[in-house]
Structure 1
Amino acid sequence: MKTVDFKHARGPDKLRVYAIGDVHGRLDLLQEMHRRIYMENEKSPPFDWVVVHLGDYVDRGLHSCGVIDFLINGQRKNHRILALAGNHEVGFVDFLNTGDAYGVFARCGGRQTGLSYGVNIDFNNELSVASGHEALKRAVPNSHLNFIRRLPRSMVFGDFFFCHAGIRPGIALERQSQEDLIWIRSEFLDDQRPHSKIIIHGHTPATEVEIRPNRINLDTGAYASGRLSAIMIDGPNKTFLEATV
């Protein structure tokens, strides 16, 4: 298998690729990052460009509904706005389907997502979970559900493979488990072997962008840190961007 390291990896010819880490309801930071991206494109216009969002748009932060609206509207206006599924989007839909009071949505920031849709759920109260589940099903627009359900788990551009969480080392990229792509952690993060592509991912918060020969982690805990991170890949050139407010 042919492998590549970050230093020598290249993006596609005539296509600038941006990727943005985990947003988690921070609409303000996402808007600022898009402003930064458009400024970069004005400063040095590319032949063409795309923006890949790496998932986890909902939970923890205060404006999950607004983030989904922003992405839907962005895609309607411009085919260059791309988005991948994260485990929190899957958990959100799972809760809407089942009302599970112990899933990732309930345990990891779903209350804030509910509030962004005007629904207050106390996950320590069975009656509140039951009534909140029904209210949230009514409150979430079909357009939001359709957007989430259609999100792909991975994309490839040039020497780069984009996904939310990572890959299972030793398995070909085209054979990766759909669950691993949004959930995997230590088996991927601790493996230093080169892959056939550089893996651009989020999912595991870090204090700074993690730059490794075989992977780049763009999750800098935006909902708590106030810092949303991105990478700009332009041929052989790789630049990191940060949005703060």
Structure 2
Amino acid sequence: MTIYAIGDIHGQTGMLDAALERIDRDGGETGPDGADEVIFLGDLVDRGPDAAGVIEKIASGIAQGKRWTAIRGNHDTMFRRFLRDGTLHDAAILSGNPWTHFRLGGVATLYSYGLDPDLDHEDLVAAAQKAVPQHHVEFLDTCPLWIERGGWLFVHAGIRPGVALEKQAEQDLIWIRDGFLTHAGDLPWTVVHGHTVMDDPVWAGNRVSLDTGAGAMPPRHLTVAAIEDDTVFILTDEGRQELLREAHPDARHAARQTRAS
């Protein structure tokens, strides 16, 4: 069995299509009767031009029985909160910027549903609640915060070391950096995550980081990994490239990522 993990998509349907094509060329069997699985690491929305298209493609694939699972990221959570009650702020955003600020990218998500972000707040919330299909809302509501597969744990941002999985705080699972990226000790699993942009995918001791900036400004690229037993491969246009494990976690690659992401 191969587990394919795809990093943060951020509304980039072209990059998503290319990643799925790489899986097909790799021989991935992720249909209803297939032996393989695709796990999306969250942040399907914001910044990129087609959040609506990304949700539609993934939600439809799951509804058709594909062995796909989408983990909920911080941007997916902010979008869902906005749809629920108009919430624009999250305590984890130290800048205080609202979800609709260009750095957070909520405006791009609203545009993808044909909405006018210049509406008054109450009118914008009402328009979004009407415009976003109910099956998109239900899809976001059912995305898990983590998935465990043997010795691998798939989560959007990471975990709080030393805290049991069932006691992990949602805010940590979708936002954590401090205390996780530099943790050099053992963890119960190898944690596969996105959230923190790296120049390249990194297997840093106890974790594998796969967010390579599809949602960066300007956008970079979307990474898809293939995990088999205790080996990680990155799928490229030329085929598989093994991702070598570094001795210790190293957050140097995250220097370009701000806490507003």
Say whether the fold is shared (TM-score over 0.5).
yes
Q: What is residue 231 of structure 1 aligned with on the other side?
A: 225
Whose helix fraction is larger, Structure 1's or Structure 2's?
1
Residues 92 and 237 of structure 1, relative CA distance in 2, 3 Å threshold: same
Deviation of 1:172 after TM superposition, in Å, equals 2.4
Q: What is residue 203 of structure 1 aligned with on the other side?
A: 195
Post-superposition Cα deviations, 1:167-219, rounded to whole Å, max 9, x if no partner, equal 00111233322221111111111211110100000011111112201001101
Any conservation in 2 of the 1:227–1:242 contact (CA below 8 Å)?
A: no
1:240 pairs with 2:238: no
Q: What is residue 141 of structure 2 aligned with on the other side?
A: 149
User: Residue 69 of structure 1: which of 53, 56, 60 is its match?
Assistant: 56
Structure 1: which 5+ residue stretches go unaligned?
1-14
User: Residue 44 of structure 2: which of 36, 40, 57 is its match?
Assistant: 57
Q: What is residue 79 of structure 1 aligned with on the other side?
A: 66
Any conservation in 1 of the 2:2–2:28 contact (CA below 8 Å)?
A: no
Amino acid across the alignment from 1:70: K
**Aligned Cα root-mean-square deviation (Å):** 1.8
Structure 2: which 5+ residue stretches go unaligned?
91-97, 238-261
1:191 pairs with 2:186: no
Amino acid across the alignment from 2:55: I
Q: What is residue 113 of structure 1 aligned with on the other side?
A: 109
Amino acid across the alignment from 1:35: E
Q: What aligned pairs does 1:120-139 form with structure 2 within 5 A after superposition?
A: 120-122=116-118, 128-139=120-131
Deviation of 1:42 after TM superposition, in Å, equals 6.3
Deviation of 1:38 after TM superposition, in Å, equals 1.0
Q: What is residue 35 of structure 1 aligned with on the other side?
A: 21
Residues 112 and 171 of structure 1, relative CA distance in 2, 3 Å threshold: same
Per chain length, whose mean CA-contact separation is higher, i.e. which structure has more relative contact order (CA < 8 Å, sep 6+)? Answer: 1
Amino acid across the alignment from 2:228: D
Q: What aligned pairs does 1:146-185 form with structure 2 within 5 A after superposition?
A: 146-185=138-177
TM-score normalised by the chain length of structure 2: 0.80
Amino acid across the alignment from 1:86: G
Any conservation in 2 of the 1:59–1:105 contact (CA below 8 Å)?
A: no
